[in-house]
Amino acid sequence: MTSARLLFSLLIPSILAEAVAPPRRPNVVMVIFDDLRPVMGVYGDPLASTPYLDAFARGSHVFTRTYSQQSLCAPSRNSLLTGRRPDTLHLYDFYSYWRTFTGNFTTLPQYFKEHGYYTYSCGKVFHPGLSSNNTDDFPLSWSAPAFRPRTEQFMNSPVCPDREGILRKNLICPVELQTQPYKTLPDIESVAEALRFVGSRKSNNREPFFLAMGFHKPHINFRFPRQFLSRFKLSQFFNYTEDSMKPPDMPAVAWNPYTDVRARDDFKHSNISFPYGPISRHQAAQIRQGYYASVAYVDDLFGKLMGGLDLDNTVVVVLGDHGWSLGEHAEWAKYSNFEVALRVPLIIRSPQFPLSQTKYHHGITELLDVFPTLVDLAGLPELPSCQDSQELTCGEGKSLYHQLMGLGTDDDHVALSQYPRPGMLPTKHPNSDKPKLRNIKIMGYSLRTDIYRYTMWVRFHAQNFSRDWHDVYGEELYDHRLDSGEDLNLVPLPEFDDVRQRLRRRLMDLVGS
């Protein structure tokens, strides 16, 4: 045998092995911001200071109308991470663990773990506490225990110094890091740990990783390094919205009295009338300034995180768990079925679909869609659609993979959200912003179509999770072509009755009996 033939025969096995070897699956990074509405430059907000998110979006797919399933942390996150609606999980508060309360449903990180990924969680991904079994669902969802920053224990402690040096539990809390416990903040710790983890995986070329990074901000309190406040002039936020009173045709059951804002030390002595307020114009401007500064702070940390990733081999999804009202309808915080409480940013970047500029998608999408979309982007076996509520591995959302490919816009899709109430009127006890399951008497279901938002508040029976469609406590109909702020409830107007009836039937069909 000649030397050339011998060399060729030796090379054949390696050539064939390379030819049949499956392509290496991409790493996946999911970034979750807490209480983030789309106050970002890439979403057209002129007041925002988000240079790193905006730069990231320039090579990404940006979904402009994505909605949370419930505007509360634990229900929204468990819905996102299991791919199932709150009604399926029977979780509307913070006090149940779906695996023992409803069903042992497979989660998004668990699905990746079962298909060969090393999964790791940093910061607030699952909501801590009972709703994730006090373990962030380890070991089922994660390959190692979830990282929780040590400064997280001080998040609701009096750590905000006032002008006399007294430590307070303030809503607005710009700080010098050296005055804080351990001289740092939770999100700073979480990003440092995420970067450490990414660096530790660079030598492992066989096992891809799934990293979930959960930022605590801009969730209240607005505690951030002081320099971020200086980016925003207070005068910019006085005329943010013209709403100063509850809209006259808003049903009382739809109102959230922002009890958590009222409870903070810098607001609880302001004599804000319960339940409708209003908050003074000066305090309203301060809240908005603090919110935008919090977003600027985590944008800066997001830039550090992206700087440590190999974006040529990493799928990245960025999202918020729900929105936050900044004075629209004279309301604050979340806890409602309005657009500002439900609409969130969703940005996807994939090496499979490289872009030189931002590609916008304007169809209706839901956070439920993230699970099947990431599965498809990673090349994993397709996530089945749920046909029965007791299926353990399935999803109730739709994959956005075909939209990322440029095949269709799915214009006819709708978003379905919901929020519970303990009664018709806002109350402190029980807390109508955050009712416990045993106190829930009414459920508000909200349907977002391309043009309308239709919301229906009906009797809900917490004992068996059923609803009575004939026992109605309020209806809302808003036309986004003319009223993007959802200020004018069209239900009392007879000319919109056909639209209302049509949307009512569609909502009832989607929710079921």
Which residues form the catalytic set? 73, 127
d(CA 98, CA 450): 32
Residue 316 main-chain phi, psi, to 5 deg: -125, 130
Tokens read off for 209 = 């990783």
Nearest CA to 82 out of 402, 383, 445, 317 is that of 383
Q: Count how many residues are written for the chain.
A: 513
Q: What are the phi and psi torsion angles at 26 (to 5°)?
A: -75, 155
Instruction: Give me the DSSP letters along 291-318.
Output: HHHHHHHHHHHHHHHHHTS-GGGEEEEE
Closest CA to 492 of 251, 330, 253, 329: 251
Distance separating alpha carbons of residues 116 and 461, to the nearest angstrom: 42
- Parallel, antiparallel or unpaired: strands 61-67 and 359-366: parallel
Q: Which residues lie below 8 Å from residue 308, measured CB to CB, with a gap of 6+?
A: 194, 195, 198, 199
DSSP structural state of residue 92: S
Q: Where are the beta strands (DSSP E) in 230-286?
A: none
Buried b (16+ CB within 10 A) or exposed e, 106-141: bbbbbbbbeeebbbbbbbbbbbbeebbeeebbbebb
174 SS3 class:
strand
Separation of CA 248 from chain center:
30
Q: Cβ distance 37 to 340 under 8 Å?
A: yes
- 240 burial type by CB count under 10 A (0-12 exposed, 13-18 middle, 19+ buried): middle
Handedness of CA 395, 43, 260, 135 (dihedral sign): positive
